């Protein structure tokens, strides 16, 4: 079962960046090589090799000279934690705050290393609110057009409604545990608090992320799901906390 990683105090920001790059390369290309890392990070190979050796010493990657680089189980969990924080911050800066994409990426890279678990949790709660509130989209647009903060696009501010509850009669809104193998859906919110919620967030399960149920153990616990091209195991208690908007036939058949 995939456990949430414990932050490694020996892992510097620079090493986290290398680990995240390896994770992205493996996710996109199924393999990571030194030349790929050099190109992705726009650095010299002389800078990459010492970083890879240090990551290997920390037990986060398997690295042999002139061979492809693989993440260890701990390395993948740690990289996923960093990557999820990066995506969360990019979404905040670019999609919600309206920052230019390049600057949003730059600031996300700068902040992801120091974002606390509490900071992640509160940001996710904000995203959950915007998705759950019927006026969430309008709220964002009012913010972007507010004359108080965006003089170039003035717009009156209206008081946001408090209708947070999703319709209890909507058959497409279910918990992850209610999915059948092969079915999937997009995360609306993670219900609950504490360490279990944080473990779910550290696995990259956040609002708008798509999840597909692959199989259950014969006893029904754990469940194996696919998230961001990786297979993750979840307990029933965790699956109950994850609220999804189930894929419709149109979603399933989409190219």
CATH number at residue 105: 1.10.10.10
Q: Are residues 71 and 156 in the same domain?
A: no
Q: Are residues 106 and 181 in the same domain?
A: no
- Residue pair 252/182 in contact (Cβ under 8 Å)? The answer is no
* Count of structural domains, the chain: 3
Q: Are residues 130 and 53 in the same domain?
A: no
Dist. CA 138–CA 160, nearest whole Å: 9
Could you list the beta-strand ranges (E) of the chain. Answer: 61-62, 70-71, 173-175, 184-190, 210-216, 223-227, 230-234, 242-246
Q: Residue 4 sits in which domain range?
A: 1-114
Q: Are residues 221 and 154 in the same domain?
A: no
Dist. CA 80–CA 78, nearest whole Å: 5
Q: Are residues 184 and 237 in the same domain?
A: yes
pTM, two decimal places: 0.67
* DSSP assignments along 177-241, one per residue: GGPPTT-EEEEEEE-S-HHHHHHHHHTT--TT-EEEEEEE-TTS-SEEEEETTEEEEE-HHHHHH
CATH number at residue 221: 2.30.30.90
Tokens of 75: 């390395």
Nearest 5°: CA angle at 126, between 92 and 105? 10
- pLDDT tens across the length of the chain (255 residues): 454 555 555 789 999 999 999 999 998 888 899 999 999 999 998 899 999 999 999 999 999 877 789 999 999 999 999 999 999 999 999 988 888 889 998 899 888 888 889 999 999 998 888 888 888 888 777 777 765 555 555 444 343 333 434 555 677 889 999 999 999 999 988 887 788 989 999 999 998 899 999 999 988 889 999 998 889 999 999 999 999 999 887 665 554
């Amino acid at each position: 079962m995939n456990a949430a990683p414990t932050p490694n105090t020996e892992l510097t920001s620079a090493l986290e960046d290398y680990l995240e790059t390896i994770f992205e390369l493996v996710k996109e290309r199924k393999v990571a090589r030194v030349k790929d890392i050099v190109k992705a990070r726009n650095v010299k190979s002389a800078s990459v090799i010492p970083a890879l050796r240090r990551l290997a010493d920390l037990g986060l990657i398997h690295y042999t000279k002139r061979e492809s680089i693989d993440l260890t189980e701990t390395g993948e969990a740690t990289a996923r934690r960093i990557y999820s924080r990066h995506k969360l911050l990019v979404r905040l800066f670019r999609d919600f705050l309206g920052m230019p994409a390049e600057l949003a990426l730059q600031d996300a890279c700068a902040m992801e290393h120091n974002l606390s678990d509490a900071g992640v949790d509160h940001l996710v709660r904000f995203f959950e609110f915007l998705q759950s509130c019927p006026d969430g989209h309008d709220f964002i647009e009012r913010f972007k057009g507010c004359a108080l903060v965006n003089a170039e696009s003035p717009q009156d501010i209206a008081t946001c409604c408090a209708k947070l509850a999703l319709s209890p009669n909507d058959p497409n809104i279910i918990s992850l545990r209610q999915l059948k193998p092969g079915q999937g859906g997009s995360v609306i919110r993670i219900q609950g608090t504490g360490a279990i919620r944080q473990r779910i967030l550290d696995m990259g399960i956040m609002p708008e992320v798509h999840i597909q149920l692959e199989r259950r153990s014969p006893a029904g616990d754990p469940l194996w799901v696919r998230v961001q091209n990786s297979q993750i195991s979840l307990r029933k208690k965790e699956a109950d906390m994850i609220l999804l908007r189930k894929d419709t036939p149109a979603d399933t058949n989409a190219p």
